[in-house]
Structure 1
């Protein structure tokens, strides 16, 4: 059983982990990004497709999807529950903006939703072991082709 102080410290460590993950992804620092996940991490981000199982597979998929995309992710309003001394769950409100070129045209996606996550404490600290992205609303630029960028919802053009 964790004391109140230990629980608060764990929550703050998980918040820091979340910030590190988002920055590593947006800055495409893939080695750091992978290190923030357990080797058996499962990610269900790709609109109902097959989940990425394993931190390495998740990174390889993201590298491919985001290769020619500039991304900006925001996560806020965390609801973190410590479920044991070494496990936790969280839900974060999210907003993302993605920018890319189609031929000579600039395009964008603006999404809103939630991250549903699980965390495990390892000898290196807290790490992500599960993540699912749900979207409440998505807008895209007129004529945007999402291709491999499967959002899970039908985009609404601006």
Structure 2
């Protein structure tokens, strides 16, 4: 593969992940889910390495990630320091350092399911990308955590 093609794919993947965090911040859950392949997966982990949950397919990703938003919720995501490996003209892998902040309204109920009003997290996205029908999509996204801070 030529250098120019490899660089073009790298930039396409960067832009795909930039859309992912922008759609999350604006709570555009269906748009976010459509960045995945139809059978794509999203698996966030806890800081101890255990699986928090696993989502399979666009509908489940949209509904589950969308449940974290809601009226008055502020979401902030940042990506840093990407490492993208181009495997072929239709396949790539990447690791993106990340930081996210979730701020729920002062009157939001704190429960066992959502035990915080404010969360500040750090970690990495590990992704596998495929090009189908001329567009890059996320086939598999795993979020690992190095730290999560909660406050009420």
Which TM-score band (shorter chain)? 0.7 to 0.9
TM-score, normalised via structure 2 length: 0.85
Alpha-carbon separation, structure 2, partners of 1:131 and 1:116 = 6
Partner of 1:154: none
1:127 paired with 2:137, answer yes
Query: Which of 34, 53, 56 pairs up with 2:56?
Result: 53
CA gap 1:70/1:46 in 2 versus in 1, 3 angstroms: farther
**Where in structure 2 are the equivalents of 1:47-126 lying within 5 Å?**
47=46, 48-68=51-71, 69-101=73-105, 103=107, 107-126=117-136
Structure 2 unmatched ranges of 5 or more: 110-115
**Alpha-carbon distance, 1:104 to partner:** 6.6
**Alpha-carbon distance, 1:31 to partner:** 2.7
Using CA pairs under 8 Å that are at least 6 residues apart, name the structure with larger relative contact order, 1 or 2: 2
TM-score, normalised via structure 1 length: 0.82
Aligned partner of residue 60 in structure 2, secondary structure: helix
Superposed CA RMSD in Å reads 1.9
Deviations 1:82-123 (Å, cap 9, x if unpaired)?
A: 112211110000000110035379931111110011100011
**Alpha-carbon distance, 1:135 to partner:** 0.7
**Where in structure 2 are the equivalents of 1:131-150 lying within 5 Å?**
131-141=141-151, 144=152
Tell me the number of residue pairs that the alignment of Structure 1 and Structure 2 aligns.
141
